[in-house]
Amino acid sequence: MTRSFNTTGPCDVISHYMVPASGRLPEVPGLVQDGKYFVLHAPRQTGKTTTIQALAAELTAGGRHAAVVLSMEAGRPWPEDVGAATRAILTRARRTARTALPPDLRPPPWPDAWDEGLLSEAFAVWAEACPRPLVLFLDEIDALAGRTLLSVLGQLRDGYRDRPHGFPSSIALCGLRDVREYRIASDSNPARLTSPSPFNIKVTSLRLNDFTLDEVRSLYGQHTADTGQHFTPQSVEYAFASTMGQPWLVNALAHEIVDRMKVAPPTTITVDHVDEATERIVVARETHIDSLVDRLRDARVRRVIEPVLAGTQVRFDPFSDDLAYTADLGLVRRTTSTVEIANPIYRNVITRVLADGLFEGVNGAPQPRSFVLPDGRLDLVGLLSRFTEFWHRTEDLLTADQPYREVTPHITLLGYLDRAVNGSGFVDREYGVGRGALDLLIRWNHTGPDGGPAVQREALEVKTHRPGDADPAPAGLAQLDGYLLRLGLPTGYLVIFDQRPAEHKRVGTDLGFTSATSPSGRPVTVLRI
């Protein structure tokens, strides 16, 4: 059977290419051996369920433990009915145990007990009957809410003192968030868990990290070993840079190339294939990506994402609830001292989604290939001129009900450029975190003078002149200088949105296009809008 890159549900080693579980969570065997209770959290589709299922199987196969992954998802419909939720969970647990454990390690009949103690009693009789220490990975724990979640956590805490013979020796709570961040919905009024925590017996909280570059090489290398089809070293590095190792995206890129784009052996997979696959994934906005962008409506997420999109430095604050929530969702990542969008693909998706909302019901968006010069190159001056007209005509309408109002100019320009180059090029975006800037690189594919394929590259630095701020042009020219140096380009564009009241805006020859020189002597076209 040929293995594949999996993008739907847990992986198994027979059907799918996989990164070894033991390498992703090396701390778990030691915690289990010491009889610890702990928390494991990670964003959706980072391989959490796959990893804990593999770890459970390895622990059981080692002969010293009986380990199994039990899903709490079955209890989701009953946040306030502890009995109904518990019975649903235990029904699924018995079915899971039948497939995951040998007969002598499976649970005995569940006992009769009152609703608030049924889960605790069930786990107790299982631990007492099991010939090995019982280890439970309680997956999707944050599917529970209300009284049910409080009851489950309380029962685990109460049974903790009876381990290892009278209660599971080790338990891991597995979900999106750390246990201290769970929200309990009571009478439709969300409230945080307060101290003392219903699960104050945990010894540590582990976060399942994204793939490293070496793990991406290993994953793609498994495909090469099976099929003989190679990825160039540059394509693997580009895939990692585009995804920052986010497991679903890493698999989705390879799946897109191999299974949907039909790039078959012996064709070598190159950077161009990864580029095309990236664009296809962004445009398709499959379930994984849609579930993330739905979170953009959440005020907690907006308070983190908006300043990042604006280029404002968002400092890492371990006590920020909004930041912890947005990071746990996988939308942002923490660097040494600041915060940025988790990866370039998410950056692309987020700005496109926000732009789509802006352009709904607004006339004047460009058609693909509507700004092409006779020699096939992109007419960027013409494109920016038409955008300037569009912005002045629609600015009030676009900003009226926009929740991300602070970055509406940036988002509108990005959406306009995306529509203009669609099908013939790409718009790469980088946010100048802490610089109040957005760096754009337009890559336009056309036919060169010799009849072969050519790529036109144009760099733009986007700044905003806000009320009370100094003219951003000097800083923008210096920042664009560094961007051009990094790209190896001789010239570029500085676009400045003037967001000050009308009486303070520049007038006369400073409107529209002007010429300037960067600090290192590069010619720059400045556009004030």
Question: Rounded to whole angstroms, how far apart are CA atoms 2 and 8?
Answer: 17
Examine the domain organization and report whether 133 and 219 are in the same domain: no
Number of H-type helices and E-type strands within the chain: 17, 15
Residue 336 has pLDDT above 90, yes or no: no
Residue after which a domain boundary falls, among 235, 254, 284: 284
Answer with the one of 234, 261, 284 that is the final residue of a domain: 284
Query: Does any domain span residue 342?
Result: no
- Report yes or no on 343 lying in a domain: no
Q: What angle do CA 91, 93, 94 make, to 5 degrees?
A: 70
Average pLDDT, whole number, for the chain?
Answer: 89
> What are the C-alpha distances in Å from 112 to residues 118, 153, 166?
7, 20, 17
pLDDT level of residue 39 (50, 70, 90 thresholds):
very high
| Residues spanned by the domain of 218 | 213-284
What percentage of residues in the chain have a pLDDT greater than 70?
91
Domain assignment present for 16: no
d(CA 414, CA 391): 12
Extract the runs of DSSP E, i.e. beta strands, from 103-223.
134-139, 170-175, 183-186, 189-192, 205-207
Q: Which one has a higher pLDDT value, 333 or 400? A: 333
* Residue 64 and residue 127 in one domain: yes
Can you tell me which residue has the tokens 């701020």? Answer: 469
Residue 234 pLDDT: 98
| CATH number of domain containing 219 | 1.10.8
CATH number for the domain including 170? 3.40.50.300
Same-domain check for residues 52 and 169: yes
Cα distance between residue 379 and residue 527, in whole Å = 15
**Bigger pLDDT: 328 vs 363:** 328
**In terms of domains, do 138 and 187 share one?**
yes
| pLDDT of 178 over the 80 cut | no
How many separate domains does the chain show? 3
pLDDT in tens, 426-451: 999 887 655 667 899 999 999 999 99
Residue 138 to residues 90, 93, 125, 172, 409: CA-CA distances in angstroms?
12, 10, 17, 6, 45
Residue 339 lies in a domain: no
Residue 291 within any structural domain of the chain: no
506 and 402 within one domain:
yes
Same domain for 280 and 381, yes or no, is no
Rounded Cα gap, residues 379 and 442, in angstroms: 12
Confidence check: pLDDT of 16 > 60: yes
Answer positive or negative: Cα dihedral of 86, 92, 96, 99.
Answer: positive
Q: Is residue 297 domain-resident?
A: no
- Residue 466 domain-assigned (yes or no): yes
Final residue in a domain of this structure, among 186, 207, 228: 207
146 and 75 both lie in a single domain: yes
Q: Is 379 exposed, middle or buried (0-12, 13-18, 19+ CB in 10 A)?
A: middle
Centre a 10 Å sphere on the Cβ of residue 313 and count the other Cβ atoms it contains: 15
> What pTM did the predictor assign?
0.85
Higher pLDDT, 39 or 360: 39
DSSP string, 266-328: TSPB-HHHHHHHHHHHHHH--HHHHHHHGGGGSHHHHHHHHHHHTT---B--TT-HHHHHHHH
Whether residue 465 lies inside any domain: the answer is yes
Same domain, 479 and 423: yes
Q: What type of residue is 489? A: L
Q: Same domain, yes or no, for 57 and 111?
A: yes
- Statement to judge: residues 154 and 225 lie in one domain: no
Positive or negative: CA dihedral 387, 393, 395, 397: negative
CB 127 within 8 A of CB 164: yes
Distance between CA 169 and CA 34 in Å, rounded? 9
134 and 247 assigned to the same domain: no
Per-residue pLDDT reduced to its tens digit, 70-113: 999 999 999 999 999 999 999 999 999 999 999 999 999 999 99
- Assess whether 279 and 381 both reside in one domain: no
What the block records as the tokens of 377 is: 């190159």
pLDDT at 374 over 80: yes
Q: pLDDT per residue over 464-523, tens digit each?
A: 998 989 999 999 999 999 999 999 999 999 999 998 887 666 554 456 899 999 999 999
